[in-house]
Amino acid sequence: MLQTALNIDVRKTSKSRISELDMKNLQFGKSFSDHMFVATYEDGEWKKAEILPYGKMEISPSTSAFHYGQAIFEGMKAYRTDSGEINLFRPEANWKRLNISAERMAMPIISEELFMEGLAQLVNLDRNWVPSDKGTALYIRPFMISTDEFIGVKPSDTYKFIIITSPVGAYYNTPVRVLVETNFIRAVEGGIGYVKAAGNYGRSLFPTRLAQQRGYDQIIWTDARNHRFIEESGTMNAMFMIDDILITPPIGDTILAGITRDSVLTLARDWGYRVQERKISIDEVLDAHRKKTLQEAFGTGTAATIAHIAGIGFEGKDYELPPVEERIFSNRVAQELEAIKKGKSEDKHNWVFHVK
């Protein structure tokens, strides 16, 4: 056992599995690196922090997370630069957001040191798992679950905070067709739409499957009151370029504050674009489409960075958007973010964290 500054016990695997991995054919979320980080909360504090060989864990059927869904997560990536260094992108933003989720779900806060040290040491130990081809990355999944073996309804007294990592291949940015959903909803005011809780995903699977059966890739969620205002695109934030103005719904309690969203808005402002964070209705988007002022529509998120929207389905009609090659802003911002993450473009906003 190695002891580190934060008392992270490190137990290394006796045999790396990396030779079994086909780095040229990576499937999203299927293979996991050699190690995992596990911290244990009990008696009112984070007690044990360990890096262990990735593997199965023994969990009781009465574990409270299974029953009442105290389960939250984050998603981020580690990138390999041309010189072989490993970069994280805005990891402290993930740490802050995890704590916002924790508070809403009555779960314990995680210190910046515990999050950052666990993350940096794990990624450093498994650095061979960070792929280097264009567009590839090591996907990082920090998450927290309640672990009381008790099926009474109350916040758990014990938790685990775990980080696992998974090498992911180049994301083929095939433009998506989206269906504007006017029946099911993702989030309501006063609810948990603004946090990365497992339940937000569970509830979206059935409506998304119905949309996919109708030939769409994703749903455009609308507001719970009137089904008129756009909320998010699948599990991404939604943005529209109309008449050279970048418009995106404002962060509130129904919209997840995406780190990609914030980064895209920051770059747009840097470049002198007009940016509006305000409510935008589907009528406004389709009206712009009719007037030919709708230049771009896209989703933003860690997985794809930018997902171009090729077409929008609404009330039985399909609206085609301009070809992706003509979309100046979304192509430029996708390229610039990739360049910053890979250390090829100046990191003006101090977004890059080097793993040493």
Ligand X SMILES: *Cc1c(COP(=O)(O)O)cnc(C)c1O
Residues lying near ligand X in the complex (CB under 6 A): 75, 196, 232, 235-237, 256, 258-261, 300-302
158 or 222, CB closer to ligand X?
Answer: 222
63 or 165, CB closer to ligand X?
Answer: 165
How big is the chain by its Cα radius of gyration, in Å?
Answer: 21
Say how far apart CA 318 and CA 309 lie, in whole Å. 12
CB of 105 to ligand X, least distance (A): 14
Determine how β-strand 45-53 pairs with β-strand 230-233: unpaired
Say how far apart CA 18 and CA 28 lie, in whole Å. 16
CB of 22 to ligand X, least distance (A): 26
Say how far apart CA 356 and CA 124 lie, in whole Å. 6
CB of 300 to ligand X, least distance (A): 6
CB of 306 to ligand X, least distance (A): 11
117 or 232, CB closer to ligand X?
Answer: 232
User: In whole angstroms, how far apart are CA 157 and each of 40, 45, 142?
Assistant: 11, 10, 20
CB of 76 to ligand X, least distance (A): 7
145 or 236, CB closer to ligand X?
Answer: 236
17 or 332, CB closer to ligand X?
Answer: 332
Say how far apart CA 100 and CA 312 lie, in whole Å. 32
Say how far apart CA 211 and CA 182 lie, in whole Å. 12
Say how far apart CA 299 and CA 334 lie, in whole Å. 11
107 phi and psi, to 5 degrees? -115, 160
CB of 302 to ligand X, least distance (A): 3
52 or 257, CB closer to ligand X?
Answer: 257
